[in-house]
Amino acid sequence: MPFVTNKIKTDRLSICRTCSYYKRRTQSCGPLAVGSTVEHKGDKVKLCGCVMPIKANLQIADCPIGLWTAFFTDQDLQRYKDWKQRYDQDPRKIVDEQDQQQLVRMYEAAFDTKWTPTNCRSCWQSMIKALNHFVSNSHKELERVDPESAEKKVAR
């Protein structure tokens, strides 16, 4: 599922509601829809303008000033894309130990669960299929909620 638990969503929203950039009337991060660019700790940061009760629901969403983070991070996404590119070029390739460790970590981050490595090939294939769905669904949801941020994550 590309969504976080209710508890995590509530925790994220509690942070937003005490943030000086949060717009109470529209429940958005900066001005609704358009967002804005602000100076934060010496850096220029683009506030997304998203409706936070929707965006805070997504696993791959993060706060532009880092007050709360994604569960499936940009690094996870990049690692997954690199691995998938290699795997797609040669699907017969046996996934080596380092790949296995990374896949398990990504799977556990995506599904908030424990996964015990196994020698069962079809178990790995099911796991990879689940991760594929997770990444593509997460992207679709983020595109719907915050197209600019989704585009950046794809381009990375």
We find the least distance from the C-beta atom of residue 34 to ligand SF4, in angstroms, to be: 14
Nearer to ligand SF4, 10 or 136 (CB): 10
We find the least distance from the C-beta atom of residue 40 to ligand SF4, in angstroms, to be: 8
The amino acid present at 115, given as its one-letter code, is: W
Binder among 2, 9, 29, 141 for ligand SF4 (CB under 6 A):
29
Residue 21 and residue 30 in contact, taking contact as beta carbons nearer than 8 Å:
yes
Nearer to ligand SF4, 29 or 77 (CB): 29
Nearer to ligand SF4, 4 or 103 (CB): 4
What own/partner pairs with CB < 8 Å and gap ≥ 24 does 18-25 have? 19/65, 19/67, 21/47, 21/65, 22/52
The per-residue DSSP string of 73-114 comes to: -HHHHHHHHHHHHHHHH-TTSPP-HHHHHHHHHHHHHHHTS-
DSSP assigned state of 3: B
Rounded to 5 degrees, φ, ψ at 105 are -60, -45
We find the least distance from the C-beta atom of residue 57 to ligand SF4, in angstroms, to be: 13
By CB under 6 A, tell whether 70 contacts ligand SF4. Answer: no
Binding track over 30-69 against ligand SF4, x by CB under 6 A: -----------------x----x----------xxx-x--
What is the rounded CA–CA span in Å between residue 27 and residue 15?
12
By CB under 6 A, tell whether 21 contacts ligand SF4. Answer: yes
Non-local (6+) Cβ contacts of 23 within 8 A are: 29, 30, 31, 32
Nearer to ligand SF4, 51 or 104 (CB): 51
Where along the sequence are the contacts to ligand SF4 (CB under 6 A)? 15-16, 19, 21-22, 29, 47, 52, 63-65, 67
